[in-house]
Amino acid sequence: MRFFHDMIFSFRVLAVIVCMASLSVDVCAADSLSVGKEAKLPLSWGVRMDVGGVFPTNPFVRGGHFDLSTQEWEYSEDREIHHFSDVAVQFNWGVRPDKWQARVYRNPYYGLGVAFPRFRDDRLGKPVSFYGTYGARIVQLTDWLKLNYELNFGYSTHWNHYDRFVNPDNISVGWKHTAHVSLFPYFKVVLPCHVDLKVGASLTHFSNGATTVPNKGLNNYAFSMALMYRMNDSENRVRKDSSLRAPYVPLRLEHEVSITRSFRQKCYDGTGTNLLTQYVQYRHPIFAFSYAPLLRLSYRYRCGLSADLMYDESVGAHADYVENEIDGRMYERVWLGERKERFNFGVSVKNELVMYGFSFFLNVGYDFVQGDKEVTRFYEVLGVKVQPRGPVFGSIGVRATYLTKAQFIAWSLGYTFTGKPLRRKYVATCMFGSHPMPQGEDLQPIQQPLPATE
């Protein structure tokens, strides 16, 4: 019943916002603009509300309490975490609809937002999230109805995190700072008076990427609704120009080199030791170098192989609770493994989906040289790369195993070397459609580097 009460409350709040937005507009007529006129930058702001639940992916969410005497979890329905809700305020800006980038990347938009997730459990606190947004159209069903998607990625803080003395059961959040990742596919309904209604479902994940342990994370689902007020109506008022064409891309290799710097903590095996907890607060540095020759097939897709060399200080490390000979007190102490075991070398298949201004990438690889015998040789790296202009780029990703267990957050800085075209063959600018290929003198290859924003 609580879920339905929350839904009714959400509808009431959104209805009030609709009325306020409608009353704030003096003129609601949509004047038709010609293609020749310069369109304005699409701007909008609004409120989004999520109401849903939490996936029971770890003992803490399932209502568990860890008994130190028996070293086992005891479960109670009173401690189960079922509820998740979120209220966010967001400001968006898009690409002018009279630009070829709007056609190729399907009317993309960006945004900044502040969210207030709630779980109705004091053991998690009252966090606040600051995030960036990227969204685009999947398909336009009618003039007033579209199917879109939106991705949110940001930073969340003010959690009641794990503490062995005051919050020992919270193995979901090990640090007061986490990453905030959300996927929001939705139907967009164009309403009168410059208002858009978004209705869909969302998946949200909170985790610190094993920067601090424990790090089981929180995975949430919700019914989502948003109301956005369009400060100008460029996207809907400018007629689409079917003659817009992007420059054609030659089939060629682009060589990427990057360096990675990170930290991680690990859970230590307490068997045969005097450890009071497996979550020892000791950070191990990580360094990595990667080289990836990537084949650019279009503006929106690149793929290739990546050679990954990594140094991980945590490999072979073990811990115990021992007496300090100097002061006679007991401390947790970490011993490092052999230096030669800390190096890994692997080869991965890299896939990169290029958006306007940045890209998403997924590496699936195998470590041929591996010192850590406790984990599988297969690994994945999922992340976001930002390359606004020129060959320099930055990226943030999560290296994991089986796409579920995070090893560390990878902060990388790199450089792209653009190679010559492999042959005189050109591909269309869009993965989901093609245009007539130019002939004769119209065949003009692009000789300049192609960062993600071009």
How far, in Å, CA of 247 to CA of 336, rounded? 54
In 3D space, the residue among 219, 421, 395 whose CA is nearest the CA of residue 306 turns out to be 395
How far, in Å, CA of 82 to CA of 271, rounded? 34
- Sign of torsion over alpha carbons 149, 154, 158, 159: positive
3-state SS assignment for residue 102: helix
How far, in Å, CA of 441 to CA of 434, rounded? 20
- Distance from the Cα of residue 40 to its chain's centroid: 29
What is the DSSP secondary-structure string of 245-269?
A: -PPPEEEEEEEEEEEEEEEE--PPP
pLDDT value of residue 241? 56
**Which regions of 28-177 does DSSP assign to beta strands (E)?**
43-54, 64-67, 72-75, 83-94, 109-118, 125-140, 145-159
How far, in Å, CA of 9 to CA of 225, rounded? 12
pTM for this predicted structure: 0.81
77: which DSSP letter?
A: G
In 3D space, the residue among 408, 351, 357, 358 whose CA is nearest the CA of residue 384 turns out to be 358
3-state SS assignment for residue 160: coil
Is there a shared CATH topology between the 2-17+40-237 domain and the 249-442 domain?
A: yes
* CATH of span 2-17+40-237: 2.40.160.20
Domain ranges of the chain: 2-17+40-237, 249-442
pLDDT value of residue 22? 39
> For domain 249-442, which architecture applies?
Beta Barrel (2.40)
How far, in Å, CA of 252 to CA of 291, rounded? 16
Mean pLDDT split into 10-residue runs, the chain, 454 residues = 47 45 36 50 95 96 87 90 96 89 89 96 95 95 95 95 90 94 96 94 94 93 96 63 70 94 90 84 95 91 96 93 87 91 96 90 95 90 89 95 89 92 52 38 37 39
